[in-house]
Amino acid sequence: MADKSAVIFCSASDDIDPIYNQAAREVVRAACLCGYDIVSGGTVKGTMRHVCDEAAACGVKVRGVIPRFMKGLEHPALTECVWTDRMSQRKDGMREGTCLAIALPGGIGTMDELAETYCLAKMRLYPGRVVAFDMDGFYEPFKAQLDLYVRKGMLDAESRALIAFPETLSELKELL
């Protein structure tokens, strides 16, 4: 892997609005141009396919971390495929060695990956930057929940600042 790697959390659904897949390609391209190798869920499903396609087109290393029950769904352009027995191992394997975690719009699995990574950053167990791409206000409810935690004294402002919510690709690029 290069000196730096970014993990991309994203949707496995093939039924989402194509604008999210196009945005994923743009985010991955921007990260690659900033010198990041890419780590993802590594399958041919949903936005993961677009993430792997774009990273491969950019010529960077593409590591996929896939649970064994998804055998046969691995993306053919992976330069490294790591197999896991459990989803929890998958999340750990995806974060391993990365210095940046970007959550694109996605479903409950993406939310799980984002929330766990943010919690680990809060506990100083994930050293990287945590970013939730808030295009079209996708992560507004999560951002509002975190802000409520701060107002109620359940989360300190310093910990709240460990996650960024860029709303545009330009704002996201500034965080790379």
Per residue in 48-100, pLDDT tens?
999 999 999 999 999 999 999 999 999 999 999 999 999 999 999 999 999 99
Per DSSP, 124 falls in state: T
Which residues have a Cβ under 8 Å from the Cβ of 4 and sit 6 or more positions away?
35, 36, 37, 98, 99, 100
pLDDT band at 3; cut points 50, 70, 90: confident
Region 161-168 average pLDDT: 98
Please count the residues of the chain.
Answer: 176
Backbone angles phi, psi at 62, to 5 degrees: -125, 110
Domain boundaries, the chain: 4-174
Q: What's 160's DSSP letter? A: H
pLDDT digits (tens, 9 = 90+) for 110-149: 999 999 999 999 999 999 999 999 999 999 999 999 999 9
Q: Which CATH class is domain 4-174?
A: alpha beta
Q: What is the pTM of this model?
A: 0.96
